[in-house]
Structure formats: structure tokens, C-alpha cells
Chain A
């Protein structure tokens, strides 16, 4: 398709459609469709797409949208959907079910603040609400990162060593409704990159089995351990898939984390989604002025890339985490996870900044103020609330 000027939603929709279409020689594809701002354009685009083998099923709620995906996936179809905010909350029961059924469903989460009070703009509270679900989670920044991650998510999710669903998040409006140039994948290349979806435990009348029936603690322990083991295999499988992606598409996709100048830095900022890019702009100037400031983009959140982060940030004395989310009574979620990864390091100052909640505009100036604070402070404190919208 070449390079197109499209919104993030349309870029994601194209990627889902191409992935679904790529399974036309196997058991086709199926999408459960229910609209919610700011995800609606994805659903609209998919509904307008003519699949050779497969269909988009309009349903009456997010809960049923995931239900449709579960049913389709259990029958061997490549299944996908998209949602946001309170829609994800309503879907939650089936989100867990999809993972516990070990179904490689891919869902786009267009991040939007949970209400009430009603708010349509971005923060990551909605997808992070589901962090304890048996799903992989990827947070994307640029339109290209979004498209590439969606294709990789299918590949990794369907890998026989993984068989777990994957959630790909983007910023509501800031990504979803912004038009930017992006290389949309050619169908022939997607066909090459995504092998036919094969679900070993798919329903088959020739071999009737019960899936998801009552189990004793013994079987449940095993089931949960299997999921954890699969999660631990994800980074390796991802690396293989990324190599394959590079050879097929001729470009290197972003890795689970992207570190820029972090190894020898005095200060590193950790962020996700489009805040990473805005922070990069602020940091560029400081680096040009001789300050040793690094940046880490956290793409893979589940499984949490503990090893990678420990290796990258092992000697950095000051780390600031930009959390566009808030776990009440605890603080920013990325900061907590990162602190747990770096446990045992007493020489590191790790400060959490809660910023851009409810879609507040995070400008390069805001990042500058955060860096000033981080460089100045003697000790880490309780999460700093950086209210940018006032």
C-alpha cells in the first residue's frame, strides 16, 4: 500500500484487516464490533472491509464483542476487536476468559480516561486496569510503531509456545485521531509474515472435549503456571518474530524497550506511548547542551521486561518515570513495576511523576520542568502530581 497519510485508528484498522485477511486460506477471521470513542473509527473501517473469509460481527456491548472473539477463536479463526475506557471495564470478565482459554486474540486498546467524571481523552488507566489479566500488553507511540506492533502481536500470540491474547494500546486522539504518514503493510507481505492461525485446542467435532470446565486446585495451579511460563517465553519469541518481520518488511520494528543514551546517562526518563516522543524532543536539546540524559521507551508491559530494564538501567543513578495513569493509594503503575525490577539497588533515585492524567497536554516544556525537578532533588519522594492542564 505504500506510505499513506492516515489517522492512528485507520492505521490500526488496516493492520487488523490485513492480519485477518491473511488467514483466508485457513479458518478465516472474525471481529467482534462495538463502538466507543475514541476507538470507533477502527470498527467503522473494519465493517467496511470485505474479507475473503471472515466477518465483523456487530454486537450490543463490549462484553459480547469479546464473547464473539472467544467463540471465533475457539473455532480456529483469527479474532480481533478494539475498545476503550469504560468499554474495557465492561468487557473485563471476558477479557480474563479469553486469556485463560489461551486464545491468541488481538485487541486494540485506544487509551481513554475511565469515567466518571466523563472524559474522552487519553490516560492509560483503562488498559492498565487489566494488567493482571493473562494478556500481553504493548504500548505504542508512532503510527508506524502501532502498525508494526499489531502485526507482531498476532505473530507472537499465535506462536505455539505462547498462545496468549495481546493488547496493543495507543493514545486516544493524540494517536488515534492524528493524521501522519505511515507505511501500511502490503497484503502479500502480511501473508508471508503471518502463517495460518493454528489453535491446537480449537473446537473439533471429530474430537469432542470440554474446555474450561470445573477443575480442582491441582489443575488450576498447573494452568496458571503454564500461563506464567508462556509469558516468560515472550521476549525470546518476540525477538525471533522481529527478525522475521525485518526480513519480510525491510524495516526493524521497535523492541520491547527502546533505550536512547541510557547506559552512560546521569538521568533517564522512562515513558510510554506518545509522551516518549515529546520527551525525546525536550531531551535532544539538553543533550546538545552536554547534559547526559537518556530515554527509555517502555513498549512491552506484559510480560514486564524486567531483565531488559535491569540491564539497561542497572547503573543509572537517577530515573524519572512518567506515569499517565494512577493506581489510587499507590501511585503510578509503571514506576511501581520498575521499582520492583530494580530491587536491591540502593544507589538509585527513582522518582514517579504522574502527568497528563485525563488527557492534559504534555508539552516539551512540561518535560523540561520534570527534568529540572529530577536533577535538583536529593531523594525520591511520594509520586509528584504534575498537573499540566490548569
Chain B
């Protein structure tokens, strides 16, 4: 009987090699037996396989102790133990790039054959670099030293359906194998077995980590990555949306607020007026419904404690023209960096459009005042009633180390409706007059033209100051209106009419009063903004009249660039004047015309960083964003469905004649509601220390470092099974090849 032992690592194909050798002799009508030792069914673990070949029936089934030949698939397995019991006349076939003479004293006095099977296997695309599959390759070398012909080898491969690369690799090894008889005396003493009794269930040593460092078998290990959650990705203000929600979920509103204040001075404002693109991007919408981010931001802004403000400590002075969200965001950013900031505002109060353009039933004055005051508390000087023209800008650029132009969109889009003055007014101006108590519309018919937030605000304000009938006319459909959809719904609840697919033509007078002639529209092909272009409808009823005492235009605004020298190009973060005395920057809507408070906040902060970089060389811009955590990053079946918590709303009957705030936030005294809503967050792509990796690690070697400090694992025992990566609900853990 010939007995062969194969020493390899899990995944290399040792058991299949045993079958190949057995088959070669089986096809010659020999009696054969091939078997493996099955235990650690893990890639990389040392495994043995055995072959018996005999002319008579093979009856014993025990493992082979004294093999005739030894095949070693992995050079790192070579040790004196390996040759224990090996018969002297047989072959040692070794997978190595060395020559037989170079394999060292372990094989003195032996017949040694070497073959670089790993190289040949990889060259033929068999397996991976971490686990090359060398079985068919080394079979060529084994067959050669055992005296088989290549025809027999080919027949064996064919009978086991190995073709192509396997045959080529096998042929290369058959031809390349090097053999030698090494000088010296062979030692084949069987090393003594470990003595003593095995551990019982109650021995203290039971359950101890194995003495074998099983981590050395690994060909991959878990690593952690942070992806970009979609809410963070889309937030125009650049808020760490996921981060503040995570803190809120731990009932830590103070920490949540600190997170928001890192990027925005206006959490309470945004928590009321932001269109919340984060909620539109939220991955949870594909599971049940998006996280109520806006309401959470409001809750945190209203209930979190603001940290004590810092004071300026730098000599550099910065002037900011305009106190809208962009200007104040820039002021806040620079003040926190220690700059001496002066804000120049043409109106008599700070806040820009936040104050003049957003009605108080959406944004109460005390809320705005509180957040502006916190900015001023950082040592920001404010000068109101300061209109800055081109001349003044040049003066400022000499007096200050940097100047911002954050004047927003002062130029209002108009439409010639041939109306008399006083009948047709601008929405922004109307809202400001309402705020100052200068408007009365008692019993009037009002038509608002436009589909943005200003249009809806103007309509709802008109209703509140007594208009008998208010209609919004919009040339596309409700779906295309840029206004916040909830606001549109609330307006309709308050009894405001909405005429979709209608465009105003002209105001005329019929003896009773003014009439607005309108044109019915339909939607045609998409324009460059991707929205379908409205085109006039034809036919008899295509034009109609609406009774109107007042027409309010809310058609959008653009930047008034008269402040700048002619030919200036406006880009966020560029020096507008190219002056050496002081850089002048544009920021907010004035620079980018994004049209949202959140975008203005983001623009203001980035402009502040630009200035800081220009003045000090220090770069505060974050590194390029990590890849986006899309819906696929989340294993949603690990979560339970839970409905979204909504804030309270004042009933329509109570709000029609009142400027009391409509949205009331999460009901008073229900901090738990906010925390419970925050806990719905998937935390897409960012570890929130849910401990699932710890719970599921089959080796018990994943360890939590402590709150907020992540995890570590014992590399000595990580076999790279990948359970932690498969169980991570949010795509943070992945397996990296070693």
C-alpha cells in the first residue's frame, strides 16, 4: 500500500488534489481511498488530506501516520513536525519558488521535488493572490515524481472535468518540477503527543482562546469606512444632519445643537422655513417614511442650550454688507474664528429677507431675534441703515482686511400687466408692508401670481389682513410649484384658491373695478430646467377674467450688481475686485442665486473659510466627501416599521385672521417624542455604535472601545469570516483583502 499525506490550507484544494491522485490510480484499476480532515472549514486554516493506493481492497479507515510521500501546498507550513513518521524512500513535493537544494535542513536525506505552483496557478488565473488554488498545478508535479505519464494526467483531469487553465497549469508543473536527493540523514521521529488529560467542561481552561493564532489563517479582515449619508450630502447649509439626529436620539439636545451650530447659526429658523431636501433624500422613505428632520432641527434649536459665545481675538477686521442669512452666517463663521466683524445693513433691523420676506406666522420674530442675538453675542458689530454703493464698497475695501457682499437678490422680476399703480404690487414689498402694519385688504379680492414661497406667503398674509378672496395663479401645476408643499396645503386649508395652469395677461377695468384677464396654459416639452414648459391653451374658454382689487407679483428676484464695478464676474469665493488692499467676496444668493435660507447659510460659511484661508493660509474646507450611502447600504429588514412623529399644527379656523405661528413643533413637554423620532434614523453609512458587530462576532473578539470611540478586534483571532460586515446594518464594515 502506498500512503500519501497532503498538507495545505483551506481553500487551496488539498482534498481535490487527493481525489486527483486517487483518480489517476483508480483509472489504472487500483484500489484507492481519498479523504480529508474536516474541522476548521475556513479559508486559510491548515488542513490535511490523505490518499491510499493499493492492489488489494483497502479496509482500514484511520488517518495516515507514516506516509510514503508528503505533499506540502504552502511553504509556510513547513516545520519539523511535518516530516514526523515520513518514510525515508518517498518524495516530499513542495510548493515553493526555491530549488530542492534551497529548502533547508528540514528535509536532509530526503527526495525533494519543488515547484512554484502558486506562481503557475496565478499565471493561469486559478484562485486569488490571497488563496491561490494550486491543486491541479501541483498534481502535475506529483504525477511526474510518482512516475505517471502526462497522458495519464490528462485522462485524470478529463475524467474530473478539469479543462483549460487547469490543464495548462498542470502541464507547466509537470514540465518544470525540479528534483534532488538532499544529502544528510533523514529524521522521521514522530514528535510525542501532548500528554495529560483533555480539558473537561468544568475545567478553568475551557473556553480559553486557542493557543493557535487563528488570525494567521485570515486572508481578509474587517475595516470600517464612513460613507456620506444622503441627508448630509444634499444639505445646502452643509449641516451634519445625521450627527445632530444621533445626539438627539440620545436625549442630548445640547450636543445636537452644538453639532448644528458648527455649520449654521440658524437651527430654529431652518427648523421652520427650510424646504428640507434632506427629507426628500432620506433613505428611510423607501422603508416607511423619511425622518422628520425639519421638526427635529426646530426642536433642537428651540430646546438645546447654546454654548457660551466666544469673543474676537484677532486683529483682522471684516466688513459684511447685508444681514440676511448669508451675511450673518459669514459673520458667525468669522466671529467664531476670532475676527472682528462689522455687519452693515441698509434696513433698520437685521435679518434681511428672514425678517422682511417671511411672515411671522411661519417665523416668529422672537425666534429670529434670539438667533441673531447669539451671533451678535460673539462680538459682531452691527450697523443698520447703512446703504452701501459702489463708492462706499471701495472705501470699505481700504478700511477692512476683507469685505463681503451678501446683499442677496434685490432686483425683483416684474411683468407688465398695464395695471394702475397701487393695483399691481411686488410680493416682497407687500410682505414687508404687512410686517410694518401698513397694509389693509379688508373685503378685497386678491390675486397672487407665482408659485414660490413668496407667492404662498403673500397669499396667506393677504388672507390674514382681511382679504375676502385670495387666489394664487400659477402657470404650471401644483406639483411644479417651488414652494414648500406643506405650505401650499396649509394655504389651501386656509381657504386660498389655487388656479393651476393659468398665466396673467393684463389688468383691465370694467366700471365696477379692476379685472385680471388670464390665459389657460398646458404643459409642453421640458425646458432647460427640466420642468415642462407651459404653453398657452387655445380655444374659446382659454381666456377668462378674475375680479381683483390687488395683484401681487411673486415671480422671483435677481442680484442687484450695481454695487460692483462694471464687468465684474460673480463667483462664490473669488476676489471680486482683484484688489491688493483687501479681498472682496460675494456670498449667498448674491453670488449663487440658490434661493433658500439653507443655501445662503452654506454660502456664507464657505465664504468665511475663503477669507480665513486668504488671510492665514489655514484651510478649513472639509476633505472630499466620502462615497454616498445609497438605499442599498442599509439592511432595512433589521429595522422595524415605525410611523413618523409629526409636529402639531394650529387648526385652520384659528389661523385665518392671525399671525400666530401655525406650526407648533413637537407637542410641549414631549422631549421623548423628539428622541424617539431621532431614533428612527438609519444612520446611513456612519457607525452609530449599535453593537451588532459585537453581538454577531462568532469569535467574540470585537470589542467596544467606549462611548463614541468605536471598536477594535483582536487580529490574532480574526479569521476574516465577514459576519460583522454582513451584519452591519449601515454599510460601515467591509472586508479588506490582506
Q: Which residues of A contact B (CB under 8 A)?
A: 5, 38, 117, 120, 142, 171, 173-175, 177-181, 274, 277-278, 280-281, 361-364, 387, 389-390
Contacts and interface: CB of A to CB of B under 8 A. Distances in A.
Contacts of A387: 198
Contact of B38 (A38, A117, A142, A390): A38
A389 to B, nearest CB: 8
A265 B674 CA distance: 87
Contacts of B35: 173-174, 177-179
A364 B197 contact: no
B38 A179 contact: no
Q: Which of A38, A180, A361 has the most CB of B within 10 A?
A: A180
Contacts of B198: 387, 389-390
A261 to B, nearest CB: 15
A294 B32 CA distance: 26
Contacts of B221: none
Contacts of A174: 35, 61
A180 B63 CA distance: 15
Contacts of B58: 180
B62 A179 contact: no
A361 B201 CA distance: 22
B293 interface: no
Given A173-B38, A390-B193, A179 B61 contact: no
Given A5-B22, A278-B59, A364-B62, 6 more contacts: A5-B26, A117-B201, A171-B61, A178-B34, A277-B59, A390-B195
Nearest to A389: B198
Contacts of B136: none
Contacts of B59: 142, 277-278, 280-281
B238 to A, nearest CB: 49
Contacts of B18: 179
A181 B61 contact: no
B33 interface: yes
Interface string B16-46: 0011001100100001111110110000000
A38 B58 CA distance: 23
Looking at chain A's contact residues, the main secondary structure is loop
Contacts of B23: 5
B38 A180 contact: no
Nearest to B160: A5
B65 interface: yes
Nearest to A116: B201
Nearest to A174: B61
A362 B59 CA distance: 13
Nearest to B23: A5
B26 A277 contact: no
Contacts of B65: 363
28 contacts: A5-B19, A5-B26, A5-B32, A5-B34, A120-B38, A171-B61, A173-B35, A173-B38, A174-B61, A177-B35, A178-B34, A178-B61, A179-B19, A179-B32, A179-B34, A179-B35, A180-B34, A181-B26, A277-B60, A278-B59, A278-B62, A280-B59, A281-B59, A361-B62, A363-B65, A364-B62, A389-B198, A390-B197
A60 to B, nearest CB: 17
A180 B32 contact: yes
A390 B200 CA distance: 13
A320 B62 CA distance: 20
Nearest to B200: A117
Contacts of A362: 62
A362 B35 CA distance: 15
A361 B64 CA distance: 10
A117 B193 CA distance: 23
